[in-house]
Amino acid sequence: MKQLIVSDQLSQQETQKLRKALNKMSSVDRIVGYTDSIGSEVYNLDLSHRRAQSVKALLDSIKHELVMNTLTEDLGELPTKNPLDRKVVIYYQQKLSEKINSAKVGDNITLKQLNFEPGLDVLLTQSIPVLSDLLTILQENPKLKIAIEGHICCAAEDDINLSFNRAKVVYEYLVNNGISNNRLGFQGFGSTKPIYPLPEKSEEERIQNRRVELRIVANK
């Protein structure tokens, strides 16, 4: 997750900077408002709330789909009188194209929002735009080669080869839409490469572990 820091009162220059940054975002997760320590605690908490809401309203007016599921937080004052504490922090997911363009050979990139039916290799409908974005990136970058790597959560053994089959679904989508198979590879790792150790402690940890990643094989 990336973050962007803006001040409480956006100048025309900062607004333009924010508009430009939106082109790199696939979604905004959180918008957090802060203040400095001047003023009462109650006033500053309300002020940080208004700042976060104001920035969200601005983003909504520019690109509504980015903030449809965005949370706002008002964390009030930071313990200094630094003017830079009067700010709003925007936490966002970087567009897949931005991640791939900045990646080096050997880097792994998780395909966010790529989800399957529980226990199956059947894609959820909302995952199709992710594959469509990946297809477009490969079409526009003919020297890009990737390996598709599947991972599961929860179980020590991948008895039904689910991680392999899910990676294969992504591979077949790309091949069936015209991407040469010599630019692609796929493999399932089961739960051998978890982000969080098994057994996971929360649903968030399970979500992070059951993922499909791209490994950059060549990009020039």
Asked if the domains 2-94 and 97-218 are classified in one and the same CATH topology, the answer is: yes
Residue 134 Cα distances to 2, 114, 128, 131, 137, angstroms: 20, 11, 10, 5, 5
41 close to 76: Cβ distance less than 8 angstroms: yes
Structure tokens at 76: 């009030």
215 close to 203: Cβ distance less than 8 angstroms: no
Give the number of other CB atoms < 10 A from CB of residue 91: 16
Phi, psi of 147 (to 5 degrees): -115, 135
128-140 helix and 162-176 helix, angle to the nearest 10 degrees: 50
Residues sharing a CB contact under 8 Å with residue 9, sequence separation 6 or more, in sequence order: none
Residue 112, Cβ density class (10 Å: 0-12 exposed, 13-18 middle, ≥19 buried):
middle
pLDDT tens digits along 115-144 = 888 889 999 888 899 999 999 999 999 999
Share of the chain above pLDDT 70, in %: 98
Helix (H) or strand (E) holding 51: helix 41-62
Name the fold adopted by 2-94: 60s Ribosomal Protein L30; Chain: A; (3.30.1330)
pLDDT tens digits along 144-162 = 999 999 999 998 898 899 9
Phi, psi of 168 (to 5 degrees): -65, -35
- Please compute the mean of the pLDDT values over residues 187-194 and round it to a whole number: 95
Name the fold adopted by 97-218: 60s Ribosomal Protein L30; Chain: A; (3.30.1330)
pLDDT at 207: 87
Cα separation, 61 vs 67, in Å, equals: 10
User: What are the structural domain ranges in the chain?
Assistant: 2-94, 97-218
212 DSSP β-pair partners: 150
* pLDDT over 70 (residue 7): no
pLDDT tens digits along 43-58 = 999 999 999 998 999 9
Contacts of 126-134 with CB under 8 Å at 24 or more apart are 130/96, 131/170, 131/173, 131/174, 133/95, 133/96, 133/97, 134/96, 134/170, 134/174, 134/214
